[in-house]
A and B are shown apart, each in its own frame.
Chain A
């Protein structure tokens, strides 16, 4: 297989397969959760479940001062790499072109040097997160193999993308193919790992907020 053929496969059938697994997997996971249902609460409500649930989806992004002080590293590094991932994935001009091809519409991008710098920041933040995970008592205890796998498939597209953009080491088509392949790996593993929290966080925050709000406590 020539490098162009390799790139074409990765961009074509490879990407299609990964996308199908991703979409089908996410739908299955959502069905698994939602079909379980929840019993109607018979206690007289003190507040609205819906309003409190929706509110918590937003407010849980902003910890109170004391919580921030206690978990400063986790919160700060978490913010940086989540914003970094959003910027590098969704605000990089070539990525937006690709989304435009798929969805038929695009959106404004950030200047490439900004995204480039953001990629470096994100990679550093993820390395810091990993180091913290391996050194911190609680995190080392909680961490499973899956958590390391999730970390790896998250940082991989950032690194391969960075290398491909700067054309380091290999020819452009091969570097691009490797980058896309790393994204496909992420897509395939996404629905079956902790990466699902990207979507399920909306459900869990809603439920948490609803349970608390029903009793009249803003969470």
Chain B
């Protein structure tokens, strides 16, 4: 992936469509997006105002796609995109934005600012201004198949452990299975309990499922860094495996951006509608609940709250399902102030957690989550994204808060009714 300013500018040009043009035409610099962004509210730094992060894209729109801007360009009056601008903007676009999209929900003129920042990343990456750690993760995803460098033998080892612990067979490459499960590297390495939970729940539900040895990785570094070609290549691997195994539904695991990548961006990246469905694990579990395939016994007594992963709730549309499921296992569920589609990001999505340079700021902006939690003082936090989970644990430790994090899928598995 050779990068240059020209490529960056071309990539930005390709990102401008009628929605982007309408968005930039409508922005009146009211500043409300700043108040909606934890990277501003917790730092007070006006540069981190969401709409400011889109400046490279705005300049390209103005100079290439507006009459006045084009006239201005002829006389050298319209602001240009150069390497200096992109260097200055790198930390704003990658380190100070998780693409959480809260700004998009409050913008009074309706601008999808997170989408505009996502598009800006395409230009930044093509021009060689992406964070070094994200470049590394993306390279590993392409060459090894996982951003964390997790290979098939590592997965096989975890599968063997799970099989030994549960006595259940973890199906691999089963042709004609109803569901094909994707996993994030984080789950394979840090939370193999997730695989165990799926095995138990799906066994009880009596549905067939499989993991594909050729495409088990759900995460998509191409989406985070903003390189559509790579994102498309990673999606294509999943599509190929799903078609080869003739599965009906591909399941996106407890990972935020993986869902965005495969469910919403996937078909557009590879340029064709999928022959199979894509569902988030919580959507599948909620269907099991509705069909009476998910039977629960006993309830959690502790006071639970749910942290909505941005890409699953606000950007993904999976909002009611986790609540339906939590209510099965809890009579003591309490919402944080600003919840569901208006929840505050944990501070580590959109590639921020893979970018060591952003470690300090992601922990600083965690203050927002702390305030939300302080308001309701839960005994435990349920979530549905391994990345949120790792960062929440990090943040809680940093702020000396002792609240355990639990995965919804794993908690449901713990409460499965015995026959």
Q: How many A-B residue pairs have CB under 8 A?
A: 179
Given A28-B67, A204-B110, A207-B110, are A197 and B27 neighbors across the interface (CB < 8 Å)? yes
Does residue B178 face the partner (Cβ distance < 8 Å to A)? no
Q: In chain B, residues 1-45, which have Cβ atoms closer than 8 Å to a Cβ of chain A?
A: 16-23, 25-32, 34-36, 40-41, 44
Contact A212:B32 (CB < 8 A) given known A36-B65, A44-B277: no
Per the bound structure, the CA–CA distance linking A192 and B30 in Å amounts to: 18
1/0 per position for A126-152, CB-CB distance to B under 8 A? 000000000011111111100100000
Whether B332 sits at the interface, judged by CB under 8 Å, is no
B47 within 8 A of A: yes
Q: How far is the CA of A208 from the CA of B23 in the complex (A)?
A: 8
* Most chain B beta carbons < 10 A, residue from A47, A67, A208: A208
A residues near B41, Cβ cutoff 8 Å: 70
Let me know if A141 and B19 touch, CB within 8 A: no
Binary contact readout A15-39 vs B (1 if CB under 8 angstroms, 0 otherwise): 0000000000000110011111111
Q: Which of B100-108, B204-212, B347-355 binds A?
A: B100-108
Whether A217 lies near B29 (C-beta < 8 A) is no
Kindly list chain B residues whose C-beta atoms are within 8 Å of the C-beta of A32: 21, 65-67
From A58-66, A100-108, A158-166, the one touching the partner chain is A58-66
B52 to A142, Cβ gap below 8 A?
yes
Nearest-neighbour CB distance to chain A for B249, whole angstroms, equals 12
Report A-chain residues with C-beta under 8 Å of the C-beta of B115: 211
Q: Do A212 and B28 form a contact, CB below 8 Å, given A33-B21, A138-B49, A142-B46?
A: no
Kindly state whether residue B109 has any CB partner on chain A within 8 Å: yes
Please measure, in the bound complex, the distance between the C-alpha atom of A43 and the C-alpha atom of B338, giving whole angstroms.
29
Q: Which of B276-303 contact A (CB under 8 A)?
A: 277-278
Judge if B74 is at the interface, Cβ distance under 8 Å. Answer: no
Chain A residue numbers with a CB within 8 Å of B35 are 67, 70-71
What bracket does the count of chain B residues touching chain A fall in? 35 or more
Tell me if B68 and A138 are in contact (CB < 8 A).
no
Does B111 lie at the interface of the complex (its beta carbon under 8 Å from any beta carbon of A)? yes
> Which B residues touch A29, using CB under 8 A?
25, 66-67
The answer to whether the Cβ of A74 comes within 8 Å of any Cβ in the partner chain is yes
Question: Is the CB of B170 closer than 8 A to any CB of chain A?
Answer: no
How does the 8 Å CB contact mask read for A190-219 relative to B, with 1 for contact and 0 for none? Answer: 001010110011011111110110011111
Contact in complex: A78, B267 (CB < 8 Å): no
Known A-B contacts A41-B268, A142-B49, A215-B317; A200 and B26 likewise in contact (beta carbons under 8 Å): yes
> Nearest CB to that of B67 among chain A residues?
A28
Which residues of chain A have C-beta atoms less than 8 A from B107's C-beta? 60, 208
Give residues 242-268 of B contacting A (CB, 8 Å): 263-268
A138 with B268, Cβ < 8 A, contacts A37-B17, A63-B106, A66-B342 known: no
Q: A204–B317 contact, CB under 8 A? A: no
Query: Across the interface, which residues of B come within 8 angstroms of A208, CB to CB?
Result: 19, 23, 104, 107, 110-112
Q: Check: A170 CB closer than 8 A to any chain B CB.
A: no
| A42 in the interface (beta carbon within 8 A) | yes
**How far apart are B273's CB and chain A's nearest CB, in angstroms?**
5
Contacts A63-B108, A138-B49, A215-B317; A39 near B17 (Cβ below 8 A): yes
- In the complex the two chains form, what is the Cα distance from A200 to B28 in whole Å? 11
Q: Chain B residues near A144: list those with CB within 8 A.
A: 29
Given contacts A141-B47, A207-B22, A207-B23, contact A78 B30 (CB under 8 A): yes
Q: List 14 A-B contacts (CB under 8 A).
A: A33-B22, A39-B17, A43-B264, A63-B108, A64-B106, A74-B31, A142-B52, A194-B29, A203-B26, A205-B109, A207-B110, A208-B104, A208-B111, A219-B105
Besides the known contacts A36-B18, A201-B26, A203-B26, 14 further A-B residue pairs in the complex with CB atoms under 8 A apart: A38-B17, A43-B273, A67-B36, A71-B31, A71-B35, A74-B31, A139-B29, A201-B109, A204-B26, A207-B19, A208-B19, A211-B115, A212-B112, A219-B105
